[in-house]
Amino acid sequence: MTIEITSPYDQSFIKELSLTGKNEIDKILNTAQNLFLDQSKWIPAYKRIEILEKTAAIMADRIEDLLVTAVSEGGKPYQDSKAEVLRAIKGVKLAAEHISQLKGEQIPMALTEASLNRVAFTSKEPIGIVVAVSAFNHPLNLAVHQIATAFAAGCPVIFKPATATPLSSLALREILKEAGLPEGWLQIILCDNEAAELLVTDPRVNFFSFIGSAKVGWYLKSKLSPGTRCALEHGGAAPVIVESDADFKEMIPDLVKGGFYHAGQVCVSVQRIYVNQKIVERFIEAFAAATTKLVTGNPLDQKTDVGPLITPKEVNRVEKWVNEAIKKGAKLITGGKRISDTFFQPTVLFNPSEDSKVSTTEIFGPVVCIYSFTNRDEAIKRANALNVHFQAAVFTKNIDIALETVKKLNATAVMVNDHTAFRVDWMPFGGRDASGIGMGGISYAINEMTREKLTVFKSKLI
């Protein structure tokens, strides 16, 4: 069986690739297991550092090629895809640097008579076989976060990219091979859901890394073999609290970027903005004006701000949700219409009902909802009302309000005077509650893919 990779921009054919059948899964797992069980085949730390450093150098020489590949398969505009490629290179460097930080500690002994004549210490070991399933929206950088981290930890990794965007990870694999990655340490497979479930739930898998929908992630977690650890990164419906003293000059560009970056196809995209009633009319006017200036079009055009959605099916869904919100009483401020089979206008809605899809579910499209409030605690309560909690934000110049809001918002990260989609690759990143489990970020992911071993020496001479 094969699958066709097409451009989200115009649905044009890019490449045809073979799918891995479920009868091949056992061989793939055996390859990884044989590498891990034979410690003579483990790659020493210095060699892992060399390979990752060389990988980063090769990537830096091929920025334009990697960029065009990512834009073509994923549809993210040129400038944003360039930022992704540069982040991916930095991520590989961070993975190489963190290898030297994989260390244990001494555990004190002789604190009781029973612990006399002993010395104890912990050390870090690779956890084992890592199976990583990824999403479409950052095809190169997500691959780095799941592949480079596993390799840095010393684990063989089996990587399943999104079927819509596999080309960036395949390009990364070729670069890693060129940099000296031994055979078998990275296996990339494209497969259907049945084969993927067979792979993920196999007892040989020691760690499962998942980036994607909550429905799929939590289902697969429920099927994991006993002892398989996991990290799940799902979506959110990121809330923002805007107080009356917020700085419009700084705030509006940030929030527009955070809402419409990659056409809203970002797990921490700005979705729900709660604005103090005192400034809400001014806010809507400024936000709408900035939104209408966004350029929608060919993602390879460097002037484009908003590109296509990943498939026409997603355009249909977003259109349906927007129409439902308007029917239930939301005021359409700007946008609201499909441009083509693959594009939807950047859209701003005011005060959609609390039971509308746009208020209760991650939109993953170019739609931002604005709500007014008179009581900040009530706004925070509404912001926290959903079961998804990832990143959030507050805009204010009052430090007490900022700190109080940070404390009360249910989120793994709260940005003060910045949009919810801010991220650098060395910071912890992940959802809580229904939004995920475990923590991403290069160093955090590497640590998740290791386990501690305690060594205790007993000697009368100690």
- The two three-digit tokens of residue 38, written as one number: 């034979």
Cα 307–chain centre separation: 19
Q: Inform me whether the pLDDT recorded for 53 exceeds 90.
A: yes
Q: Inform me whether the pLDDT recorded for 1 exceeds 90.
A: no
Give pLDDT tens digits for 243-263: 999 999 999 999 999 999 999
Angle at 167 between CA 161 and CA 169, to 5 degrees: 55
CB 344 within 8 A of CB 312: no
CB 126 within 8 A of CB 453: no
pLDDT mean over 143-147:
98
Greatest alpha-carbon span in the chain: 81
Cα–Cα distance between 237 and 240 in angstroms, integer? 10
Give pLDDT tens digits for 388-420: 999 999 999 999 999 999 999 999 999 999 999
Q: Inform me whether the pLDDT recorded for 176 exceeds 90.
A: yes
Q: Give the pLDDT confidence score for residue 103 in this predicted structure.
A: 96
Give pLDDT tens digits for 276-308: 999 999 999 999 999 999 999 999 999 999 999
Q: Inform me whether the pLDDT recorded for 89 exceeds 90.
A: yes
Q: Above pLDDT 90, what percent of the chain?
A: 99
pLDDT band at 265 (very low <50, low <70, confident <90, very high): very high
Give pLDDT tens digits for 189-208: 999 999 999 999 999 999 99
Angle at 165 between CA 162 and CA 167, to 5 degrees: 120
Phi, psi of 17 (to 5 degrees): -130, 150
Give pLDDT tens digits for 334-385: 999 999 999 999 999 999 999 999 999 999 999 999 999 999 999 999 999 9
Q: Is the dihedral of CA 15, 16, 17, 19 positive or negative?
A: positive
Q: Which domains does the chain have, with CATH numbers?
A: 2-234+435-457 (3.40.605.10), 238-416 (3.40.309.10)
- The two three-digit tokens of residue 249, written as one number: 């000059």
pLDDT mean over 89-101:
98
Give the chain's count of helices (H) and strands (E).
15, 20
Residue numbers annotated as active site: 233, 267
